[in-house]
Amino acid sequence: MRILITAGPTREYLDDVRYLSNASSGRMGFALAEAVMVAGHQVALACGPVSLTPPPGCELHLVETTDELLAKCNELFPGCDGVIATAAVCDYRPRTRFPGKLAKTGVSLELELVETADVLADLGRNKGTRWIVGFALESNEYAHVNALRKLKEKNCDVIVLNRPTAIGSESNRIELIDAGGKTVAVYSGTKSDVASQLWAWIEETIVSRTT
């Protein structure tokens, strides 16, 4: 099989040197890429700006903005059997990107933000016979409900719920939620261990059903 994995953050520029982003390290996506490859499959890794080395033999595609990630996913997804979308996409961008570097003027700058493209939703609309595993980072008491809504809206097979404590961390705790809203698995440990357990579950539960 050939699996598309998205990883890391995206950046949305205010001017030529400043941008909106988040603290995603990309470790979860890279750990999943390694787990999938150890299992004998091919990986196309679409990744935002991170300081990580991909597994040997991994097909790496570097992107920066959300639009670039969307374009790369649309290019790669037709040639893949499924996607694991771990990327922490920047949800907003400045409406206007200013040329050069904005200088201080002594007065406040009002910044208008607009939503970026919804990469996972776009993949869901073009899913066809392929499978989709999405990630949802949620921080409040409605985390499970919000993750389930995302699963349905994005046409995922399963959604992986994790918390802000995962950002930049070497470890993670994830909860797998199926289309019926049931928690079907919970894994915790290093991101490498969690990735191996998650991929084993995907192979046993999703891949076996679609092959």
pTM of the model: 0.95
**Domain boundaries defined on the chain:** 2-100+113-210
The CATH architecture of the domain made up of 2-100+113-210 is 3-Layer(aba) Sandwich (3.40)
Report the alpha-carbon angle 7-8-14, nearest 5.
135
State yes or no: is 22 an active-site residue. yes
Tell me the pLDDT tens digit for each residue of 94-140: 999 999 999 988 899 899 999 999 999 999 999 999 999 999 999 88
Burial of 43 (0-12, 13-18, 19+ CB in 10 A): buried
Tell me the pLDDT tens digit for each residue of 42-81: 999 999 999 999 999 999 999 999 999 999 999 999 999 9
Residues facing residue 94 across a β-bridge: 113
| Catalytic residue, candidates 22, 146, 162, 172 | 22
The Cα 99–Cα 51 span in angstroms is 27
